[in-house]
Structure 1
Amino acid sequence: MRHLHKQKVRFYQHPKANTVFWDREGKRIELERILPRTIGQVKVKHVYLGAQDPLPVRLLMVRVPDEVVAQRRERLAQEAADKGQAVNSKQWDLAAWTLIVTNAAAKHVGPAHALVIMRERWVIELLFKLWKSQGHIEEWRSEHPWRALCELYAKLMAVMVQHWLLLCGMQAGSLAPFGQSLSGSAFSCLTRVGSAPWLTPLAPVGQPTLLDDAVRLSGQSSRD
């Protein structure tokens, strides 16, 4: 984060459970004392990361609903069980809040915007995970930089078109032409990223898109 800050790049991160925050006077902040207590309540505090060469950031804190807390703690318990370890007590307690640190000024990004950015970032990470495992976009056959770049762009265009076709197929109720090659985990990942609005093909209301026609024609060819 410090490297990004020096490059004047805005960052948004979930702090780790053991992150230590400091105030302007160099005193350690007791996080438990400043956390919001009411569900849905949002608090923002200017803090510093690191005792030496402190990094100024904004700490955004949101108290989440009980059902979200239960889901998070269930996931923590499952991850700990998979690793044969005990659940980190700090993580368990902090599951009741969403915490975000950012160097973006309040006039540029408010708490609501930061939450949207973090949610969409998670969707993007899932999408690229899918593209790496199924589309092999991080692999290329040439050592020549320009050829490798061309291959990367070609794969990105291919997986983007395939992804839109799959989403159209999901909306139309037929995935037969495209979904047979996906593994179960890849299909699960696809359904989670499918709700992202920026991945949905756009067209005027009531008018079919080129992808709609492609899905319709592919469905016809699969029955012929």
Structure 2
Amino acid sequence: MSGPDLENTAMGNNAISGTDVLWDPSNSSQIDPALCRAVEDLLRQHPTGILPIVKAGHPVLRAVTTPYQGQLGDLLPDLLEYMRRTMLDAPGVGLAANQIGLGLALAVVWDPGTDDPDDPRERVAVPHRTILNPRYEAVAAPDSGEVEGRAFYEGCLSVPGYQAVVNRARAVRLIGQDEHGEPLDEVLVGWPARIVQHETDHLGGMLYLDRADLRSLAATE
């Protein structure tokens, strides 16, 4: 997900998305030697730590990613560090593995947030973190019992030069794992929830344009 250049519009909701397959870190039988060699070659070819980002039109962005079950073994931390560097260099606030051509269900996110307490996007700081095998579901507001939607402009590192309004749930429950295989189960609100929805959609073979109001599509350059 690219860095925000956003404004408020309408409200709506979102759907459940993601995988329910989890990784058992104690099981090393899932290591894929051929995939490890391919990832090692990719990292070796880019010693700066900045990987090429796949652009819209490449079939890897339209394929549902494979759940991460330890295929990369001890190589996972190196890959995640390269992904973080690539995300920050772009710059962006999230990067899914298939955006670097790797069809595994993992992503990195980070956002410095904003100092404006009245920001309608509720854009608070998100620390560097990894999400593996994520899924999300919309969470209803406690006062109304209804899912609250928010529509803001989004961009994408795989669709450079454009942004469009996307209607998403204001709050979602994120379920998945971190880079150590520890479980994640938490409710996110505002901009962090949007980042998670955007990146999880990537892992399901979707681009933000699939959910966007295409009449709002605008060039950013």
Common fold, TM-score beyond 0.5? no
TM-score of Structure 1 vs Structure 2, range by shorter chain: under 0.3
For normalisation by structure 1, the TM-score amounts to 0.24
Higher relative contact order (CA 8 A, sep 6+): 2
Higher helix share: 1
Higher strand share: 2
